[in-house]
Amino acid sequence: MKMLACLLVLALGCKSGDGDKVASTGSAAPTAPAAPGSPYAKDIEALCESVTRSGADKIEPDAKTLTIANWLAANLKTPESRKFLVEIQPLVGDAKAAALETEAKRVGLSGCALAAEWRTPPT
């Protein structure tokens, strides 16, 4: 999944040059509107559902990462959601999954399939 994070950053064309840091708890500091139904909340929902929305759940494992990254690049609308991806990029495993789940809950989602995928060891 580390490859996914790297590809996401490349595909989204994001840079983290403004000094933003990931909180020591392992989650990105909330900086975007969290209102359910807001454009940012819709982007976090899309991020959480990106495996199925991109079709990556129906293809061979080797192509999943690039498929998801390309789909996210084309479908995330807010700069805040792209910034969030950059902020959690250095995290791995449970820490990254927990950060995404925390953000999903913050915007009103009950769960996050991508976070579960990040916790599943590669086959």
pLDDT along the chain (123 residues), means of 10: 46 40 43 76 97 96 93 96 95 94 96 91 65
Task: Name which of 37, 20, 36 is nearest 82 in CA terms.
Answer: 20
CA distance 79 to 25: 23
Residues contacting residue 67 through CB under 8 Å, at least 6 positions apart = 54, 55, 56, 59
Contact 46, 74 (CB under 8 A): no
pLDDT at 45: 97
Mean residue pLDDT of the chain comes to: 80
